[in-house]
Amino acid sequence: MASSSSSPLAQVYYSQVWKYHVFISFRGEDTLKTFVDHLYTALVEKGIYTYKDDETLSPGELIGASLMKAIEESQIAVIVFSKNYANSSWCLNELACIMKCRKMKGQIVMPIFYDVNPSEVRKQKRKYGEAFANQELENKKKIKSWRQAFLDDPWGWLSAPREQIWKLQEALARHELENKTKIDSWRRALVDASNISGWEPQHIANGHESKSIKNIVDTISRRLHPINSSVD
C-alpha cells in the first residue's frame, strides 16, 4: 500500500477504545467463499481480531444494528470492492458508515479492488453505474405503485379530505428526498473510498492471490495498536 489512508484525526484515533482490529465489508456472492474467506483466515492466523458478519454475528442479533456497531468499534475497515458490491444496499450502508467513522473517529480505511478497476468505483461506471441506475428505477417504480394504488380506488381519492391528499403528497415527496439523499451519500462514499490508496490483487505478484493476501495482512499488522478484544 503506497500511502497512509487514515484521517488527520490521529489523536482521536489513538484515544478510542476499539473492540476489533479489522472489519471486512464485502459482497458475499462475489467473494465470501474465495478471496474474503482466504483473507479472513490469514488475518485470524496472524492474531488479528477480525469482524466478518457470517463468522462473528451471533444468532438472534439484529443484523443492521450489529454491523454498524461493529464498524464503529473497529480500528481498520477493509472494503473489498467487487463487481456486485454496489448491488447491495447493505454494502453501501456499511460503506457510508465506514467513511463517516473515518471522518469522525480517524478510523483507518483500506480498500481492495477485487476484479474491478478503481475508476469504475470512483466514477460509478459499468457494474457500479448499472447498480445505481437500478436503485433509482426501483425507487421510481415504488412511488408510482403507491400513487397508482391511491388512484385505483376512485371513491378513496375523490372522497378523501383535501388534508389527506396533501399528506400523501408530502409523504411521497419526503420519501423521494430521503432516497435521493441516501443515494447521494452512497455515491460520495464510493468516490472518497476509491480515492484512498489500496490494493488490486490481480496486479500483485502476477495475480497470485496468496501472495497478495500476505502483503495485505502484513500491512494491516503494521498499522495496528493493542486493543481490549474481549467479547461482550
Q: Measuring CA to CA, how many Å separate 38 from each of 13, 41, 48, 64, 148?
A: 28, 5, 14, 25, 49
Q: How far apart are CA 128 and CA 35, in angstroms?
A: 20
- Please tell me which residue in 29, 55, 73, 94 is annotated as part of the active site: 94
Q: How far apart are CA 189 and CA 68, in angstroms?
A: 15
Q: How far apart are CA 25 and CA 131, in angstroms?
A: 17
What's the burial of 146, exposed, middle or buried (CB within 10 Å: 0-12/13-18/19+)?
Answer: middle
Whether 94 sits among the annotated catalytic residues: the reply is yes
Q: How far apart are CA 91 and CA 83, in angstroms?
A: 12
Asked if residue 28 lies in contact with residue 54, where contact means CB atoms within 8 angstroms, the answer is: yes
Q: Classify strands 108-113 and 20-25 as parallel, antiparallel or unpaired.
A: unpaired
> 3-class SS at 220?
helix
Q: Which positions are annotated as active-site residues?
A: 94
